Structure 1
Amino acid sequence: MTNALQFGFETGLATDVGCRREINEDSLLARPDLGLWVVADGMGGHAAGDFASQTIVRYLDTVGCAVSPEDLVARTMERLHRANDVIRARSAELGGSTIGATVVIVLAHGPAFSCIWAGDSRVYLHRAGQLVQQTRDHTEVNALLAAGTISETEAENWPRKNVITRAVGVDDTVKCDQIQGQLQSGDVLLLCSDGLTEHMKDHEIAQCLAALPPQQACDELIRETLARGAKDNVTVVALRCTQTPIGEGDALDEDVLDDLA
């Protein structure tokens, strides 16, 4: 038997309309077989925000099998641009009303991973007991804070904290940020819409990810957010990274896919 290793992923996912909304404008996608996980948070109301987030997920689901980390990123961005065009066409049909969605994407190819995002949905990495936010919120308050216009204290009490500055579907071209890193066995990555972080603190998220396997962690994060009033839709996707011999890893991936079916 070969001693070569590959990464396997145990995935959990959950979404809820929340306590105050009538429709769920969030969408999610988990394709561990492709090394792809997505959370999209729509804006624009019924028949608009949900259309935007679902369009993003539908196009990203066609990424296919990449031959390298760079190829996976390129395929992903090409699908995002196509989704952007479709969303903008839908906006034109509705008289030019603003339609769009924030998006966070985790890509994994071998030991390499990437995060791609636009808006205020987030990716966190839990490693060796520490939770670190990988994304930077594209919001008005963050832009003012980065420019030195307001202080940390002012930012905490800013009245327009949820005003986003980037989203797929609002501009002619997609404007995303990207970061890259290397996976380690035991890493847990969490993707979430802002419906989670509006109610849950980072240390609470960290405790949940440390104590529970991915699906149970997702269920618990949703349950606690609902218990706290869930002002918005809330969506979470968690993935735990493990290293396994290649022959065993193939079986693991099939089991994960069966669980998600």
Structure 2
Amino acid sequence: MFRVEASGITDVGRVRASNQDSMLVEDGLLLYVVADGMGGHAGGEIASRICIEQILSEVQSKFSLLIETSSKTHPDPTLMNALAGSINHASAKIYEHSLEDPSLRGMGTTATVVKIVDDYAYCAHVGDSRF
């Protein structure tokens, strides 16, 4: 297995008044996520936080079983689909939250996710954030 070192920092920048970014560095799960709330839209910081929380929850609840039952050959389509599905579930949670508060309608976030399994990096991505 290779060694992974990760860290993160975020900055509001010079244009925005608030920082709508969220990140997750979960070394125990070898899970790394960046979510960049859509600037200029209400609730970007909420959307990015929900995204991080939902992806973490999905990986915690599903991935250990998927890895145990996977084909052990990489890339494994089941793992790739599960990671992409975690983003889809996060999107659904964000949408549900926006329905509860009309002022948050249209909120959104990008997401870039990396999950290390064995010596393989599985990546999923939505939006204009980049690795």
Could you say which TM-score interval applies, normalised by the shorter chain? Answer: 0.7 to 0.9
Structure 1 equivalent of residue 27 of structure 2:
32
TM-score by length of 2: 0.75
Structure 1 equivalent of residue 14 of structure 2:
19
Larger Rg: 1
- Return the match for 2:115 from 83, 107, 110: 107
Unaligned runs of 5+ in 1: 1-5, 124-261
Query: Identical aligned pairs, as a percentage?
Result: 34
Structure 2 equivalent of residue 200 of structure 1:
none
Deviations 1:140-169 (A, max 9, x none): xxxxxxxxxxxxxxxxxxxxxxxxxxxxxx
For 2:49 and 2:13, how far apart are their aligned partners in 1? 18
Unaligned runs of 5+ in 2: none
SS at match of 1:16: coil
C-alpha deviation, 1:72, in angstroms: 4.1
Asked whether the equivalents of residues 25 and 32 of structure 2 are also in contact (C-alpha less than 8 Å), the reply is yes
TM-score by length of 1: 0.41
Deviations 1:192-234 (A, max 9, x none): xxxxxxxxxxxxxxxxxxxxxxxxxxxxxxxxxxxxxxxxxxx
Structure 2 equivalent of residue 78 of structure 1:
85
Deviations 1:155-196 (A, max 9, x none): xxxxxxxxxxxxxxxxxxxxxxxxxxxxxxxxxxxxxxxxxx
User: Which has the larger share of strand?
Assistant: 1
RMSD in angstroms over aligned alpha carbons? Answer: 2.3
After alignment, is 11-20 or 71-80 more displaced?
Answer: 71-80
User: Which has the larger share of helix?
Assistant: 2
Asked whether the equivalents of residues 52 and 87 of structure 1 are also in contact (C-alpha less than 8 Å), the reply is yes
Asked whether the equivalents of residues 43 and 101 of structure 1 are also in contact (C-alpha less than 8 Å), the reply is yes
1:51 aligns with 2:25: no
For 2:92 and 2:6, how far apart are their aligned partners in 1? 30
Asked whether the equivalents of residues 87 and 100 of structure 1 are also in contact (C-alpha less than 8 Å), the reply is yes
Cα separation, partners in 2 of 1:44 and 1:91, compared to 1, 3 Å: farther
Letter in 1 for 2:96: A
For 1:120 and 1:18, how far apart are their aligned partners in 2? 17
Structure 2 equivalent of residue 90 of structure 1:
97
After alignment, is 14-23 or 67-76 more displaced?
Answer: 67-76
Letter in 2 for 1:104: T
C-alpha deviation, 1:58, in angstroms: 0.5
